[in-house]
Structures are given as C-alpha cells and as structure tokens.
C-alpha cells in the first residue's frame, strides 16, 4: 500500500504533460511529433519552452497550433502533508516513541492525562526492550573482550542495567516524598531562586557573601600552624623519618619515571615507524602489534606464526623490578629503625613473589592498555579521514605526562609497604 501511495503521489506531484502540435515537419526537416515529445520532457524538469503563437480555426473555434497542458489540474498540497504526518507517526511508533507527544500540534489533537500516561508507559516499555538489547550486546562484544584482555579467560564480569519499570518509578517517588515530609530531603531553594532570578529572604548579595567567605578563608589559613603535615605526628611517629620517607619516594619515583619515559620514547618511535611502513605499503593495520616468528613443528616442518609484539617489555620489567626491590628493602630498613633493631633487609620468598607477580600484572596492563589506546586512535582517524600518526603520538604523550608518574608513585609505595609488612609479620608488631 505504501508503495502504491508513493507512485500515486509521484504522478500527482509530476503529472504527465500533454502537448498539441500540428502535423508535418519543421523547416529543418524534423518531425513536429518529436519536437512535441522533447517539449514535454523539458517541462517535467521544470524547464521553459517557447512555442509559436500561430493559430487555426476548427469548427468555428480559434485554437493554437502548438499548446501545452497538464493532464491533472487538481494538484493539492494538503494530501502530501497528510502523508508526511502519517509516515512520521509510523516512524515514531517503530522507535517506541509516543507519537502524540511529537505530532500533537500537527494533528490538532489533544489528549487527556490518562492518554499521556499510557503513552509514557509505552515509551518506558520500548526503552526497556532497548536496554535489554544494549545490555546483551555490551556484555557479549565489549565487556567479555576487555575482561579477557586484562584478566584472562577465566575471569568473569557482566554489566547489568537497571530496568525502567513503573513499580520502580513509583517506589522511588514514594521514598522521595517520605524524605520530604520527614525533612531528610530538602529542595534546593537557593539554587532554584538563583536560576529563576528571585530574591531569597535573609540571603546576602553574592558579592558580599563571596567577600566574607574570602576573608574567612584567609583568617583560617593564617590560623593554621606552619608545618609539612596535615596533622601533627603522634608520639609513635617521627616527623623526620616521615619526611625522609617522602623525600626518598619522590627521588626514586622521579628516577624510575625518567627511565620509563626514555624507554617509552623508543617504543613510540618503533610503533610509529612500523605504522608508517604499513600505511605506505597499504597493508593491514591490524598487524601493528604482531610480529612473525619462524618455528618448527614436531614433524620438523618450518612454520611462520604471528605473536604479540611488545617492544622493550623486558627493559620495562627490569626497571620496575629494580626500583621496587630497592623500595622493598627501604621499607624493611625504616621498620627496623622504628623498632630500634640492627637488622639488615632480606628477601622473603612469600613477599618477593608478590612483588614479582605485581610487576607481571603491571606489564600486562601497561601494554594491553597501550595497544587499546593506539588502536582506538587509528580507528577514529580512519572514520574522520585524518592522519593516524599524530593521534598515535598524542597517546604516547598522555602516557608520558600522566600514566607513568601515577604508576611510579603507586607501585613504589606498594613495594615500600610490603617491606614494612614483612617486618611487622616477623616480629608481631602489625
């Protein structure tokens, strides 16, 4: 029916053209029938034609020898508008959107509160179906892959989106109304008044209030005692030792960050060089993080396999392991100093294995996240027709300026605390 309707509207919108012509040929020897057909086709494309004004008399009537007219002279615009409104309503229904909300003014119809409530319920029902579909797709194609890359195939995770139901909506409404009645929830009257531009009784002007706050903050800052810590150390805490620990962590963090930045610079150049080579040879960019390795099968056959390419991974591991071991020993030393014991730091396999496993986890997360960010940047540039190399360099810049300093601070402090915990477990002080 829709297809038939569109064909009908096509004929109404561009009706056939009827052209009258005298029999015979033109002075150039061209048939007048052919000329008439060309005129009709030109008019269908909104062209202008010029025809001679010669006439002849037929049955006592004077008629033009050449004449043009449309077969249908009853073209109306309202039928097209009605068709558009009908199609719009069908599109909205297919999207589970109540069409009365969108087409109310167009249809010149109004509805009751009950009708609008039914429309809202239908809309929520459609949204719930969309939520279920999104949840399934996200868990199947996104969450499962992210979990597998970061934590292995045995790990399990799932995103569950809360359903939009009438019972849930009514429950939240009832809870909020009870909170209002009991005084536990208060409307943001000040914010509402500011938004509407209404004065509030007892409220000071913004400039005066800001000035008083500024004076109060200054007086509070002046009243605070000058010191390095946000609170005074307790009797069991040595302020000098705390300062030495912080200075040591800052120094080692800077050393490790500089070493990792140097390695990352080399990794960036290797990745960019390989990416540029793949682009110039018009090869699959999915091979960016893989390299070919020649192997020999148990049958003695030579075979080329693709393995994950993680440039300078061993160097990153060595840098992390060395600094974390140093902080692990330093943590033991500070614990012995606090206890007044003349003991030397030593390696305990239980705690040392934790550090080694942590370094392995750091490397896996670092390279997997780096691969993901670089691939995402390449995908975005492919969609926007941009050059991918500047985007890839921007990813490495973020790692240099944010990721590496945060990692160094967190991991070195963890190694330091593991060393102190080892002493505490040995001598029963924890």
pLDDT in tens, the chain (430 residues): 777 777 777 766 666 777 777 888 877 888 888 888 887 777 766 667 777 767 777 776 777 777 777 666 555 666 777 777 778 878 877 766 666 656 555 554 555 556 666 666 777 777 777 888 888 888 888 888 888 878 777 777 888 877 666 666 677 677 777 777 777 766 666 666 665 566 666 555 554 455 455 554 444 444 444 445 445 666 656 677 778 888 888 899 999 999 999 999 999 999 999 999 988 888 888 888 888 888 787 777 888 888 888 999 999 999 999 999 999 999 999 888 888 888 889 898 888 888 888 899 889 889 988 988 898 888 888 766 778 899 899 999 989 888 899 889 889 988 998 998 888 888 864 4
Tell me how far CA of residue 40 lies from CA of 12, 37, 46, in angstroms: 16, 5, 10
Q: What is the greatest pairwise CA distance in the chain?
A: 135
Tell me how far CA of residue 76 lies from CA of 44, 73, 429, in angstroms: 18, 9, 93
Is residue 264 within 8 A of residue 416, CB to CB? The reply is no
> How far is residue 415's CA from residue 408's CA, in Å, rounded to a whole number?
11
* 397 C-beta neighbours (distance < 10 Å), count: 12
> How far is residue 347's CA from residue 328's CA, in Å, rounded to a whole number?
9
pLDDT at 103: 59
Angle between helices 99-107 and 113-138 (to 10 degrees): 140
Beta strands 302-308 and 290-296: pairing type?
Answer: antiparallel
> How far is residue 225's CA from residue 207's CA, in Å, rounded to a whole number?
30
Tell which residue, 373, 264, 277, has the closest CA to residue 319.
264
Beta strands 290-296 and 61-64: pairing type?
Answer: unpaired
Tell which residue, 322, 335, 326, has the closest CA to residue 422.
335
> How far is residue 196's CA from residue 8's CA, in Å, rounded to a whole number?
53
Tell which residue, 183, 314, 329, has the closest CA to residue 248.
329
- CB within 8 Å of 299: residues ≥ 6 apart: none
Q: Look up residue 421 and give its two tokens.
A: 């915990």
Tell me how far CA of residue 222 lies from CA of 210, 217, 219, in angstroms: 18, 9, 5
DSSP character string of 194-244: HHHT---TTPPPHHHHHHHHHHHHHHHHHHSPP-SSSS---TT--HHHHHH
* 420 C-beta neighbours (distance < 10 Å), count: 21
Is residue 80 within 8 A of residue 13, CB to CB? The reply is yes
pLDDT at 189: 67
pTM over 0.85: no
> How far is residue 230's CA from residue 239's CA, in Å, rounded to a whole number?
12
Q: Look up residue 401 and give its two tokens.
A: 């300026």
- CB within 8 Å of 373: residues ≥ 6 apart: 395, 398
According to DSSP, the residues that pair with 306 across neighbouring strands are 292
Tell me how far CA of residue 278 lies from CA of 58, 283, 367, in angstroms: 81, 5, 20
Q: Look up residue 268 and give its two tokens.
A: 């960036």
Is residue 92 within 8 A of residue 98, CB to CB? The reply is yes
Tell me how far CA of residue 190 lies from CA of 10, 176, 195, 199, in angstroms: 59, 19, 9, 9
């Amino acid at each position: 029916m829709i297809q038939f309707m569109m064909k009908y509207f096509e004929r109404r919108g561009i009706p056939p053209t009827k052209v009258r012509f005298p029999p015979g040929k033109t002075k150039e020897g061209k048939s007048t029938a052919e000329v008439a057909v060309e005129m009709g086709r030109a008019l269908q494309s909104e062209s202008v034609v010029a025809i001679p004004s010669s006439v002849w008399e037929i049955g006592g009537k004077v008629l033009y020898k050449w004449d043009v007219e449309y077969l249908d002279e009853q073209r109306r615009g309202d039928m097209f508008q009605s068709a558009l409104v009908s199609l719009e309503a069908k599109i909205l229904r297919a999207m589970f959107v109540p069409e009365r909300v969108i087409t109310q003014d167009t249809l010149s119809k109004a509805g009751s509160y009950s009708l609008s409530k039914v429309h809202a319920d239908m809309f929520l029902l459609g949204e719930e179906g969309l939520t279920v579909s999104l949840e399934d797709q996200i868990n199947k194609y996104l969450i499962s892959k992210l979990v597998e890359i970061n934590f292995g195939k045995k790990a399990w995770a799932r995103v569950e989106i809360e359903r939009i139901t009438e019972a849930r909506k009514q429950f939240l409404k009832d809870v909020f109304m009870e909170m209002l009645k009991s005084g536990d929830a208060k409307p943001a009257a000040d914010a509402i008044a500011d938004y509407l531009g209404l004065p509030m009784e007892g409220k000071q002007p913004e400039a005066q209030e800001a000035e008083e706050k500024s004076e109060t903050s200054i007086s509070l800052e002046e009243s605070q005692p000058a010191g390095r810590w946000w609170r005074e150390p307790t009797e069991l805490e040595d302020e000098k030792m705390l300062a030495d620990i912080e200075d040591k962590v800052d120094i080692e963090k800077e050393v490790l960050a500089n070493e990792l930045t140097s390695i990352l610079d080399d990794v960036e150049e290797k990745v960019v060089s390989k990416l540029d080579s793949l682009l110039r040879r018009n090869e699959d960019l999915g091979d960016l993080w893989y390299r070919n390795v020649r192997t020999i099968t148990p049958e003695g056959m030579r075979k080329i396999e693709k393995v994950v390419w993680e440039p300078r991974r061993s160097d990153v591991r060595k840098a992390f392991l060395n600094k974390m071991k140093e902080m692990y020993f330093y943590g033991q030393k500070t614990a012995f100093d606090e206890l007044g014991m003349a003991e030397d730091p030593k390696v305990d396999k239980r705690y040392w294995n934790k550090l080694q496993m942590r370094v392995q986890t750091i490397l896996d997360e670092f390279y997997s996240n780096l691969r993901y960010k670089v691939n995402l940047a390449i995908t975005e540039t492919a969609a926007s027709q941009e050059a991918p190399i500047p985007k890839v360099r921007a990813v490495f810049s973020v790692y240099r300026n944010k990721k590496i300093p945060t990692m160094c601070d967190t991991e070195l402090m963890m190694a330091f605390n593991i060393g102190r915990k080892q002493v505490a477990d040995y001598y029963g002080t924890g």
